[in-house]
Amino acid sequence: MSVIPSSNAQAAREALAGRLKEIRRDAGLTGGDLAARCGWHKAKSSRIENARTTPSDADISAWCAACGVPDQAADLIAANRAVETMYVQWRRLHRSKSLRHIQEGRVALHERTRLFRTYSSDVVPGFLQTEGYATAVLQSVVWLRDLPDDIPQAVAARLARARVLREGDHRFVMLIEEDVLRHQMGDANTMAQQLRHLSSAMSLPSVSLGVIPVKGQRPIWPVETFNVYDDEQVTVELLTAKVTVTAPSEVRDYLKTFAELQRQAVYGRQARSLIASAIQALG
């Protein structure tokens, strides 16, 4: 298989190849020994270790079994499958897709997900955004990335995507930092409408919304915004890129972090009190 043009994807491939090489060496095997145990030509081992050939799922399973570490295969297979999509620069993504198409492209994933876990340290989660707030957020995206302005269409697609809050067998567990309530997107009226909508959304049967207070000791610091889809995939939104995590051990790390953030959050009346205070601060 030819080398993937993207430098990020190639770096991920080389990292995987390096890990396989370490596993072989830790097992005390030569490339020839490994090939003999796996039943393939020793040149194949060399091509995989030098990232010239992408291993199949079966290749990785055989490699790990031959080296006595079959338990490591699942993470490596997940990393191998995600090599082209695990790190996608927003600018590269927007060169081929408009804002509207990116919003619409997430529909299939959202429709098949049963349990959503969302943690946001910067803005209100997309599912809970009002039209005015979403417009302000996407205006910032257009400014930062010098994109064509299809904001009305993108906002409409984002609001339409939120129908999963009320349809089907979906559950949403959402956590936001208290600072999100204070970061004013749009004018004061837009922000007040958004905050009132947050308070109202807490009554939806499918939604659990927690707010992590600024005050008080906390064992874990605010981290990057991330979304967990069931227990299978995590997306992390950075300023310049989207990172997709599928390796089981890494997904578990995000689930562990989310569980701790849940314990730090307040809910119900206490959360509504923080929202009301933020509305009052708008004057």
Inform me whether the pLDDT recorded for 4 exceeds 60. Answer: no
Tokens 């749009």 sit at which residue? 186
DSSP state of 266: B
Q: What is the pLDDT of residue 5?
A: 35
Alpha-helical regions (H) of 56-187? 57-66, 73-81, 90-96, 99-105, 107-112, 131-145, 151-161, 178-182
**247: helix, strand or coil:** coil
Inform me whether the pLDDT recorded for 37 exceeds 80. Answer: yes
Q: What is the pLDDT of residue 93?
A: 57
Burial 237-269 (b: 16+ CB within 10 A, else e): eeeebbbebbbeeebeebeeebeebbebbbeee
Q: What is the dihedral of CA 15, 17, 18, 22, to 10 degrees?
A: 140
Neighbours of 182 (CB within 10 A): 15
Q: What is the pLDDT of residue 141?
A: 83
Inform me whether the pLDDT recorded for 271 exceeds 70. Answer: yes
Q: What is the CA radius of gyration of the chain?
A: 22
| Ramachandran category for residue 253: left, alpha or beta (phi over 0 → left; psi -120 to 50 → alpha) | alpha
Bridge-based pairing of strands 241-245 and 233-237 is antiparallel
Taking domain 87-281, whether its CATH number is 3.30.870.10 is answered by yes
**21: helix, strand or coil:** helix
Q: How confident is the model at residue 6 (pLDDT cuts 50, 70, 90)?
A: very low
Least confident of 4-13, 208-217, 267-276: 4-13
Q: Which amino acid is at 140?
A: S
Inform me whether the pLDDT recorded for 257 exceeds 90. Answer: yes
pLDDT digits (tens, 9 = 90+) for 150-192: 889 989 988 998 899 998 899 999 999 999 999 999 999 999 9
pLDDT digits (tens, 9 = 90+) for 53-65: 889 999 999 999 9
Taking domain 7-81, whether its CATH number is 1.10.10.10 is answered by no
Q: Where are the domains of the chain?
A: 7-81, 87-281
Q: What is the mean pLDDT of the chain?
A: 87
Which residues, 6 or more positions from 81, have their beta carbon under 8 angstroms from its beta carbon? Answer: 57, 246
Which residues, 6 or more positions from 39, have their beta carbon under 8 angstroms from its beta carbon? Answer: 62
pLDDT digits (tens, 9 = 90+) for 95-154: 556 677 677 777 788 889 999 999 999 999 999 999 999 999 999 888 877 777 788 998
Q: Do 87-281 and 7-81 fall under one CATH topology?
A: no
